[in-house]
Amino acid sequence: MIDEPDPGGGTRWLDATELDAWMPFSAMLMNVLSALDTQLQRDAKLSLFGYLVLAGLSDAPDRTLPMSRLAVLANGSLSRLSHAVAKLERQGWVIRRPAADNGRITVATLTDAGHAKIVDSAPGHVDMVRDLVLDKLSADQLRVLGESSRAILGLDCGEGELG
């Protein structure tokens, strides 16, 4: 905690209770994301962001989504998504094209090879998610984690998809 006063007086510094929650939370975020990305890079030659893109498409009707919707699901900007999808296209896992009903909208579609990639990559990823987070928490802690995460993300729904 920074003890020096804010000259403008507008900063609400963290108190001991807030700091006690924030420090392990921020460390957990960094550790979990790093470990998931490392596992996917090592085992599947795929970034965590790339995995989230493939997973989002695999759950979509006809394995196709507008790029703007896919960016929300993958929690990335359109620019970041465009770069990631270009890389996935080079691998033959995704194709982009104008939407059939509106040529101004670009959609991404998971190819059969991309579907095979996500099916092959998912078991190792799920094992890592369980090992890092889910298996360490009780049912009540998991419920609180979900509620807390939705509150932080500004989602007012009790269950359901992000975005």
Q: What is the pLDDT of residues 103-112, one digit of tens each?
A: 999 999 999 9
In a domain, 134, yes or no: no
Structural Rg of the chain based on CA atoms: 19
Instruction: Give how many domains the chain has, as a whole number.
Output: 1
pLDDT at 163: 46
Q: What is the pLDDT of residues 30-82, one digit of tens each?
A: 999 999 999 999 999 999 999 999 999 999 999 999 999 999 989 899 999 99
- Asked if pLDDT for residue 157 goes beyond 70, the answer is no
Task: Give me the domain span that covers residue 114.
Answer: 41-121
pTM, two decimals, is 0.84
pLDDT at 126: 97
Instruction: Provide the CATH number for the domain around residue 62.
Output: 1.10.10.10
Phi, psi of 124 (to 5 degrees): -65, -40
pLDDT at 7: 59
In a domain, 3, yes or no: no
Burial of 82 (0-12, 13-18, 19+ CB in 10 A): middle
